[in-house]
Structure 1
Amino acid sequence: MASFTLDNIRAAADAKYGSTDIEVDEKTTVHLLNPLRLPKEKREKLMNLQDEMDKEGSDQEQVISDAIRLVADHPKKAGILLDQIGGDLAVLAQLFETYGKGAQVGEASASAS
């Protein structure tokens, strides 16, 4: 029978459900947290923002920016990242797509539970 420590389980969760890390400059790396690592309230807000993205006529720049602020490890770093993007919707969309691909495994597991 296999035996594991809680530290083993935590390490496996970190490896499987880790953050998507975006290096803004040599001093700033923003960690976009996997949805499973967010508190329930933030997960629900993220789902609502994703629903908003699909609505006709929604302000995509605002919705994606709000989602990035929500999942970032620190509000100040999220602000720096968004300032550097400067409202470029193509970059915002690519950033959120990259985040979504990194978080996809966690989201699939979350829906199964």
Structure 2
Amino acid sequence: MTANIGGIGSVLQQMQTMAAQAAGGTANAAAATAATGSGAATLGTFSGALQASLDKISGDQQKALGEAQAFEVGAPNVSLNDVMVDMQKANIGFQFGLQVRNKLVSAYQQIMQMSV
């Protein structure tokens, strides 16, 4: 999960750089872009990390639902403990994804409120 958090920091920094460029601070923005590396590569890496995280969250939810259904029909190899643990893992992953989304929306709103 650390890589995903680092990716979020990179995209937020890139968004701030773009906002500074739009506001007319091109010298400072160019220096910030040079410090973070190629903007396109950073965005591509973040996009991939975000998609992988969303896929993992979805997979965890599907696994938990599948185990819950198997337990309901009496599958002998599925215990209640496993179902509960997997449901909590899926819930924590979903909450993490929701918080990441909230931070991205907040950053976007801050950029949009900057004067041009």
TM-score (norm. length: structure 1): 0.29
User: Which structure is higher in helix share?
Assistant: 2
TM-score (norm. length: structure 2): 0.28
